[in-house]
Amino acid sequence: MASPLSSNYFIWESKYVNPMSLDEFLKLDEQSRIKLIASTFSNYLKFGVNVGPKDEQLAKFIYEIDEALETNDKPYISVRSGHGTGKTFVLANLTNFIGLTEDDAKIVLTAPVAAQLKNQLVPELKKWSKHLYPALDGLVDVMSMEAVYGKVNQNKAVARTARKENTEALAGVHGKFVLYIVDEASGIDQKIFDVIDGALTGDRFLFVMCSNPTRTFGTFFDSHNKNKKLYRAIHLDSEKSANVKPKWVETMAEKYGRESDTFRVRVNGNFPRTSTNSLFTIEMLEKAFDSKRMIDDSGYAVFGCDIARYGDDKTIIFCRKGYKGIFFRSYEKQDTMVTASKIIYEYNAIYDKPDYLFVDTIGVGAGVYDRLSQLGLSQKLIDANASKSSINPIYNNKRTEMYHNLAEAINKGLYIPYDEDLEEELLAITYSVEPNGKVKLCSKDEIKDSIGRSPDKSDAVALTFYEILPAQEYKKEDFAQAHQQIATVPEGAW
């Protein structure tokens, strides 16, 4: 297929037909025209709607759709976009194209709030259904929350709100061809994506999600970062769009500043440096994971032990000395006796024994704490019950306080060995201010809803800041021996 960046891409060139002008197209008989219109999505836009993209960004978007449909390779498309770039135009016409040309197609349009569907996507679908080439006129019937293609086939496009409380509304979608269009995907709960994944099991499907990139965690964020290789990732910048007036861009720059997150998200279509009320920013974590930064490893050696509570949770041990993170250890959920023995093993494996062990004592963790005490560690154990009252009265409990202590430590130079899961967990943590003025952290259940798992690793790291310990000097040569000792412990031995 021709490059979308070539000048003659939309005047027309494809694997199905020889390049031809619009005049040549009009000389074809009606059936040949319809066949040509249906040959590719790009053809449909050029000859079916008689509208082509005005800039290279949209051309790239349309080209990726064509290639995904043509090759059935990498049928996942993710688009991060500023405002007014024309993405809704593409989504609406893609819906009509699949509805008109595929046999037994199931099409679902979804967004986090009904208003996005009722006020944006469905009206755009209706608008362009009335601007089809005469050969296709009258073949699409668009209602308030669905489009019917009954005059051509039995296809139907339905609009459904993506609500985690009603995931069944998006389930059970099966056909010879399945199209899911997810708008404002950055605000979609992980449970919704899990349901959609269950529908994309057939031979032919296309999954397209678009959004202003408002959040720095979740499926949409990952599709442009750690999971980018799985997607056809598209970027639409309002400042480079022919659909956006320069005056609007100038106004946004004057109002918010070009370096502001608002300008980054709403104009440039870039992820914010931090989500609203996020405790940890991308820049903070980049520094925390930088092994080349100056690291102060003087101070207490401590363990943070987050004990698994439920079947899919993990027990995590995090070890640090001063401001230097040393290692993570991870285990499946087991009974209290076995879990305590794992912690004892890690404790004994280190030459320079930890001075303190912060143990999560909520739920089954209390039993682990008691067993460790029986095994002779009572003088080093700290009952780290995150639901207790904080020392600083500004926080609503110890969990909120220990995470804020962690954030402060990162700003002061804390180093943590890079871990992908930890990064995602920390970026998902938000806070709010209660009516009484106290700062409150989002709940573990809220984080689990966002990323699909419990924040076990971030909890283990934060537990080591349950209390702020006074400085204690260690001889660096002693701790060097500890590093050497740790290095000799074989993987899988625990």
Taking only the tens place, the pLDDT of each residue in 163-197 is 887 788 787 788 899 999 999 998 888 889 998 99
Contacts of 121 (CB under 8 A, 6+ apart): 88, 91, 92, 109, 111, 159, 181, 183
The CATH number that domain 282-464 falls under is 3.30.420.240
Of the listed ranges 52-56, 158-162, 337-341, 470-474, the least confidently predicted one is 470-474
pLDDT, the chain, mean: 85
At 147, give phi and psi (nearest 5°): -125, 135
Closest-CA residue to 306 (of 360, 355, 387)? 360
Which stretch of DSSP H or E encloses residue 424?
helix 420-427
Which SS3 state, helix, strand or coil, does residue 134 take?
Answer: helix
Class of residue 387 by CB neighbours under 10 A (exposed 0-12, middle 13-18, buried 19+): exposed
**CB within 8 A of 427, min separation 6: which ones?**
216, 217, 221, 275, 278, 280, 282, 285
Cα 99 to chain center, whole Å? 29
Q: What is the mean pLDDT of residues 427-454?
A: 89
Angle, CA 272 vertex, CA 270 and CA 275 arms, to 5°: 145
CATH of 22-267 among 3.40.190.10, 3.40.50.300, 1.10.275.10, 2.60.40.650: 3.40.50.300
* C-alpha dihedral, 94 to 100 to 101 to 104, nearest 10°: 100
Q: What is the pLDDT confidence band of residue 298, given thresholds at 50, 70 and 90?
A: confident
The residues near 251 (Cβ < 8 Å, ≥ 6 apart) are none
Query: Is the predicted pLDDT of residue 114 greater than 70, yes or no?
Result: yes
> Is the CA virtual torsion 71, 74, 76, 77 positive or negative?
negative
pLDDT digits (tens, 9 = 90+) for 49-80: 877 767 889 999 999 999 999 998 999 999 99
Termini Cα distance of the chain: 54
Nearest to 423 by CA among 455, 385, 378, 464: 455
Q: How confident is the model at residue 31 (pLDDT cuts 50, 70, 90)?
A: confident
Q: Cβ distance 444 to 454 under 8 Å?
A: yes
- DSSP codes, 297-359: --S-EEEEEE---STT-EEEEEEEETTEEEEEEEEE---HHHHHHHHHHHHHH-SS--SEEEE
CA atoms within 13 A of residue 187's CA, in its CB half-sphere: 15
Any idea of the CA torsion for 278, 279, 282, 285, to the nearest 10 degrees?
-160
The answer to whether residue 4 scores a pLDDT higher than 90 is no
Do you know the residue count of the chain? 494
State the burial class of residue 28 (Cβ atoms within 10 Å of its Cβ: 0-12, 13-18, 19+).
middle
Share of the chain above pLDDT 90, in %: 53
- Exposed / middle / buried, residue 82 (Cβ in 10 Å: 0-12, 13-18, 19+): buried
pLDDT of 140 > 70? The answer is yes
Question: Which H or E element spans position 191?
Answer: helix 190-199
Identical topology for domains 22-267 and 282-464: no
* Cβ atoms of residues 94 and 181 within 8 Å: yes
Closest CA to 157 of 117, 190, 202: 117
Q: Express each pLDDT in 234-248 by its tens digit.
A: 999 999 999 999 999
The pLDDT of 346-358, averaged and rounded, is: 92
Please give the Cα distance from 404 to 438 (Å, whole number): 13
- Tokens 């006129």 locate to 137
The answer to whether 211 touches 187, Cβ cutoff 8 Å, is yes
Q: Which amino acid is at 337?
A: M
Task: Kindly state the average pLDDT of the residues 387-392.
Answer: 94
Q: Please tell me the predicted confidence (pLDDT) of residue 22.
A: 66
- In sequence order, the 6+-apart residues with CB closer than 8 A to the CB of 19 are 8, 11, 12, 13
Domain boundaries, the chain: 22-267, 282-464
Strand order in the sheet with 356-359: 324-332, 314-321, 301-306, 356-359, 381-383
